Structure 1
Amino acid sequence: MDVSEHYIQLRLNFPHVHDEQEVHTTVGELAEFLCCTMRNMNLIMNKFKENGWVGWNPQRGRGKKSILVFYIPLLKVAGERFDYLLSGNRMEDAYELAAALPIPMGELLIQRMQTQFGLRSKEGDKGRVDTLRIPQNTPFKTLDPTQTGMWGEVFIIAEVFDRLVRYNAERQICEPSLAMAWEGDADGREWTFYLHKGIPFHHGRTLDAEDVKFTFDRIISDKSNPCRPLFGSIESIEAYDQLTVRFVLNKPNFMFPDLMSSMSASILPRDVEMNPLHPIGTGPYRLTRHDSKLLVLDVFVAYFRGRAYVDRVEVWQLPHSAKAESIIKHDLFPDAQPRAVQHEMQGGVYMTFNMQKEGPQHDVNFRRAVQQLLNAHELSEALGSTNTQAAYSLIRGRVQERQQPEDPDQGEPWKQHPEQSDGSGVSVPVLSVETSLAQAAALLRRSSYQGQSLSVWVEEGERMEADMVWFAERCRQIGLHINIMPGDPVHAVYQDELEDGFGDCDLIYTGEVFNDHVMLSLVTMYTFQNTLFLIAMNDYWRHELEQECGRVVMIQEPAERMDRLIQLENRLIREALLLPTYSFKEEHAHHDSLRDYRVAGYGLPDLRRLWVKKRPGAENKDASYPVYIPLW
């Protein structure tokens, strides 16, 4: 152990002692702290003195204690050791050092770690190795494709697994993946998929039709599986031979190939028990490590679509790295302007209500009062930023007129107000603050609200918490008492503990991130039981949404299906169960040498396309290419 590590370990055992404050102790006590012999403790103390780190006045005689004084601040020694570890590419050791320190000190050191992220090329005995490092501050709870409700987990699942079908966002069609072709009957009740030959799983066995059958039998046989409603129309599955599998449905489903592109439809091997933290798939990357600090994906050289360019992906859990994104981005690119890639996220931020709990939220007048208080245009005017835009739908670019509420006291429509575009093609009424507050107050008087304090659960984060401070003040102005309760969406989705979810809250402020297949994302949001929206709904609304989506997939024409989903969203907004507030866009930044940097679904880079263009004749064999990946 390095002498600086001894100093850090010893200093941590005196957390309430100030620098240059005398401590009365013995060599024996100090040796216990460092788990060493008294002889070694004396040697270590001499090294401390040589470095000028401590004052040490040993006292001889029974019962006498020596005097120890710490001269050098813990942060200084720890910072020097941390920088030394980073310079030697010892990320894990540096992380462990920062994690061992008091949280404020650890945060300061973790901030320095940002320079280690991005893509790094290193020449070795076996040639060049390209490693992409990504920071993450939300742990991965499960990588089971049928369970995950978090977009960060979906990003990993997309690289570890393949599906029968993949969605081409540029062409907006489903294309072959594990299945080289498929066909359905005229009624949309039988679908047959033909598999590619010789596709290997990460553990070595070749994919066959029985694996496909196993994957979906596992879903439909488990009534508690959250994605079961997505595939509820499957009546039976038959493996004709090793490469042919047929699905027989209990009703027409013309969206069935689209459902096969869902992350929930990722194909599992039948001969390996599913480990939700260490899954096995056929994807371009295999998971080789996953613990509380680090998730590692190594390239799968036998991937059937061809080897990916990036050799290794490391996702580091940095729980104390919540810093301003602009600072991180600036630190990554100190010498040159990065190449920017803007990505407008599908989906958006919205409010809904905890329909699992009794309360005034079951009264539509109360919900509509909240709808007026959470006026998207006024929220955007008050707190808007350059990367957000007021929205009245979760469907980007949707064009519709926002409906005027009725005057709850007069029973007549409110006077029409001038309209303006919100910038996304949606026509919206411009209401004055006084008008929207007056509408909210009138609706609240008509509702069953009786003056009690209510709680709003909001996803942890500076922007969304600021939204709710603004909202709570608006509520106060009309006599609605709101408490703000920031929460972790991971705990809310997987409900580890009741207090970590939103069981005691009445209102919920969150967001939904869609992938490129918007129609499939909407069906998923309304039927996959681990979305925050459905977790908040009661049995009545869950049944209603599942039934309506069941009717949607029976429609043969995609445009007509989309119209039906828009009508469903209109109903939810009219019932004030879905209150969209704004959409947002993100800006990725990367070094110019990184080519084909494409932002895929859920706002993360498509690792299957990324490659590095090194300068010809570059002197250094090792190189670093900064990448800024926003993790919303």
Structure 2
Amino acid sequence: MLSAERYLLLLDHYRVMDPDTIVEVSLEELAELFHCTERNVKLIIRKLEEENWLRWHAGRGRGVRSRIEFLMSREQFLLDTAKQMAGNGDYQKAFRLMKHHGDRTAARDRFVDFLNGHFGSDRIAEGLLDQRDIFRLPVYRPPVSLDPARMFFSFDSHLIHQIFDRLLNFDAREGKLLPSLAHHWECSDDARVWVFHLRKGIRFHHGTEMTSEDVCFTLNRLADGQPNRFLLETMIAAVPLDNRTVRLSLRQPNRLLPRLLCSAVASILPADLVREDPERFWQLPSGTGPFRLARWTPERIDLSVHEHYFQGRAYLDEVQIAVMPEDIPTETRQKWGQIMASDSRLTVRPEQKWGQIRTLNKGCSLISWNRRKSGPQRSVVFRQAVELAVDRWGLSRAVGDACRPAHSYMPAMPDFPILERYEPETARRLLEEHGYDGSPIVLLTSPAYRSEAYWLQERLAEIGIPLELRFESHSSIYPPELVMEADCILQNLVIAEDEVCELENYLQDSSYMRQHMDESLLHWVRRNLDHLFSAELPEQRKALLRQIEQRLLNEHQILPLIHRAMNTYVHPSVRGIDINKLGWMDFKDVWLVSEAQERSRESLVSPV
């Protein structure tokens, strides 16, 4: 790309916008511009001529200056260069190019239009009858960690689900456990000893067969001081009984254990590679999942199909994930519907209708109050006043995206409407009676929730509370010192795996909610969770979790704000799309229909 940078330098220096522009130059001034000798200037110009970007007209005779004829406009050159960068996976570099050189041109808008067609499904012919099916999509935050034991964010969890497998799976729709790496499991009467029987012939992406050694290594590693050790905090040890049998011994009854082992946190690792060189392994980890990680850079993630996946080969051959800059304006960001729309292999005829998938995300955005820091937020009266000042319907309309008010973690059933309490006058009275002195409140959040944060700032100012906003990128987990400096944190809570995700809120080291609880509340929560682990029935566990959530709501420890809805419009050629518990599509289930396949399907329809 050095030649392109030099051409851009010439465009910038001589302020060239249009093609066929001619400017007078000298070798001396070009040598100064390129910081090289006049001899090297001639080599640079020759190279740019070979690219057909300019034409050099040498000056003949005393006092006659040479001329450069620019053959490409700034806009077209930027667009072509950005397309080339995108083709190489350098998406962020392409946007930086537009940001630094695209002023007074439509190059950025044209590049976004190009990406509309670039993302989505693509079929590449390989021979006469075969083809390779690729799916491309953008994300705006790179994964922080693909180590299940250190996983915190939902996108990381989604990728881990594609690369690794777990002993068991959980069917959320049916509410039941399913075999996965383990084909059978059993426990002692007191649920202190569990035995898992493994399938034969399952191979990691690097070729070795999975055995009980890999399972025991993974689980013992997870329980030994890892950030997500909460998942196995009742476990004493995992021991191989033979190559296909694993025994887990527990220090207390835990009937929830099989459900916990469905979590991405419990994904099984290859013991040989992790032991050999952990640092190298996590640069490109290997699992047993439906896709293997083929490439992982700050700007691009490539997943290639696992040809011999034990639950059946995925239809897609490759998934390419582009990590886009976080500062792309909202209006230019590609929504799921636009991504689905970009499949150009099958023309949509008038009689064909796009499919729509609408889901209400499980979880909500909420404020977690820091009761371990001195300040007005430690008072339940203050926290109640803030809640009364928040018009959730107003926030939903301001944020858009088909939001709904949230009064708990999960969306309420339509048959059970909840009356909204929006009473700013009552909030002012409570603050006055409490003796609030107008001290500012520091709210920590990610730039992704900027609109919600500014809306809250305006509403709280109306009742006399100055809200200071601190935006920190979520490219990593907030460190404990940052969490404890804030009076409150605005976050998005994703309840992807029901019981397991709720446990994360109360047990995971990195949980902002857990770090903000005072000692007495946290101790009470832990006592309830001990009862939860030993509960025999799912209904009993759900009741205990609701009891914990209800106390947090009653004490205004948390302030739920909104639930977000997701609308996905699916091109007729894209099949198998379903939005999973993490708000993503499961790549393994996606399949594509070509024009010929669609015609063949229509020929099966009997004439009326």
Q: Is the shorter-chain TM-score for this pair beyond 0.5, marking a shared fold?
A: yes
Distance 1:26 1:584, change over 3 A: same
Matches for 1:515-534 after TM superposition, within 5 Å: 515=496, 517-534=497-514
Picking from 87, 90, 94, the partner of 1:90 is 87
Find the aligned partners of 1:581 and 1:615 in 2 and give their Cα distance: 45
Deviation at 1:440, TM superposition (A): 1.5
Contact 1:54/1:72, CA 8 A, preserved across alignment: no
Contact 2:151/2:228, CA 8 A, preserved across alignment: no
Contact 2:16/2:73, CA 8 A, preserved across alignment: no
Find the aligned partners of 2:472 and 2:143 in 1 and give their Cα distance: 16
Find the aligned partners of 1:505 and 1:585 in 2 and give their Cα distance: 29
Q: Could you say which residue in structure 1 is the equivalent of 2:363?
A: 347
Matches for 1:212-611 after TM superposition, within 5 Å: 212-222=215-225, 225-273=226-274, 274=278, 275-319=281-325, 320-324=327-331, 329=337, 333=341, 336=348, 338-380=354-396, 383=398, 385=400, 387-397=402-412, 424-431=414-421, 433=422, 436-447=423-434, 449-461=436-448, 464-491=449-476, 493-495=477-479, 502=483, 504-515=485-496, 517-537=497-517, 541-611=521-591
Find the aligned partners of 2:399 and 2:290 in 1 and give their Cα distance: 40
SS in 1 for 2:191: coil
Moved more, 91-100 or 479-488: 91-100
Is 1:169 aligned to residue 172 of structure 2?
Answer: yes
Report which of the two has the higher share of helix.
2
Distance 1:448 1:280, change over 3 A: farther
Find the aligned partners of 2:235 and 2:435 in 1 and give their Cα distance: 43
Normalised by the length of structure 1, the TM-score is 0.81
Deviation at 1:18, TM superposition (A): 8.7
Deviation at 1:474, TM superposition (A): 2.3
Matches for 1:25-174 after TM superposition, within 5 Å: 26-32=29-35, 37-43=40-46, 74-83=74-83, 85=84, 90-92=87-89, 96-103=93-100, 105=102, 107-108=108-109, 110-111=111-112, 112-125=114-127, 127-174=130-177
Find the aligned partners of 2:506 and 2:201 in 1 and give their Cα distance: 37
Distance 1:142 1:71, change over 3 A: same
Distance 1:479 1:134, change over 3 A: same
Amino acid paired to 1:297: L
Contact 1:527/1:549, CA 8 A, preserved across alignment: no
The one-character-per-residue Cα deviations of 1:52-96 (angstroms, maximum 9, x if unpaired) are 7899979979xx99888979753332124445x48xx93536764
Contact 2:48/2:54, CA 8 A, preserved across alignment: no
The one-character-per-residue Cα deviations of 1:309-339 (angstroms, maximum 9, x if unpaired) are 1111111111154432787655874875632
Distance 1:332 1:214, change over 3 A: closer
The one-character-per-residue Cα deviations of 1:178-224 (angstroms, maximum 9, x if unpaired) are 000101122121111100011111121111111111111112222xx
Deviation at 1:458, TM superposition (A): 3.0
Contact 2:54/2:69, CA 8 A, preserved across alignment: no
Contact 2:25/2:65, CA 8 A, preserved across alignment: no
Find the aligned partners of 2:597 and 2:170 in 1 and give their Cα distance: 40
Deviation at 1:23, TM superposition (A): 8.2
Distance 1:16 1:562, change over 3 A: farther
Q: CA RMSD in A?
A: 3.6
Q: Could you say which residue in structure 2 is the equivalent of 1:418?
A: none
Amino acid paired to 1:278: L
Deviation at 1:45, TM superposition (A): 6.8
What is the number of equivalent residue pairs in this alignment?
Answer: 574
Distance 1:243 1:452, change over 3 A: same
Distance 1:557 1:331, change over 3 A: closer
Find the aligned partners of 1:179 and 1:46 in 2 and give their Cα distance: 64
Find the aligned partners of 1:551 and 1:231 in 2 and give their Cα distance: 16
The one-character-per-residue Cα deviations of 1:535-594 (angstroms, maximum 9, x if unpaired) are 544666555434432321211110121111111100001111111112121012222112
Deviation at 1:234, TM superposition (A): 0.4
Q: Could you say which residue in structure 1 is the equivalent of 2:604?
A: none
The one-character-per-residue Cα deviations of 1:285-323 (angstroms, maximum 9, x if unpaired) are 111110111111111112111211111111111115443
Q: Could you say which residue in structure 2 is the equivalent of 1:614?
A: 594
Deviation at 1:98, TM superposition (A): 4.0
Gaps of 5+ in 2: 600-608
Find the aligned partners of 1:385 and 1:441 in 2 and give their Cα distance: 28
Distance 1:95 1:563, change over 3 A: closer
Deviation at 1:618, TM superposition (A): 8.4
Deviation at 1:29, TM superposition (A): 2.7
Moved more, 286-295 or 52-61: 52-61
Moved more, 1-10 or 191-200: 1-10
Distance 1:237 1:437, change over 3 A: same
Normalised by the length of structure 2, the TM-score is 0.84
SS in 2 for 1:102: helix
Gaps of 5+ in 1: 399-423, 620-632
Find the aligned partners of 2:488 and 2:462 in 1 and give their Cα distance: 18
SS in 2 for 1:608: helix
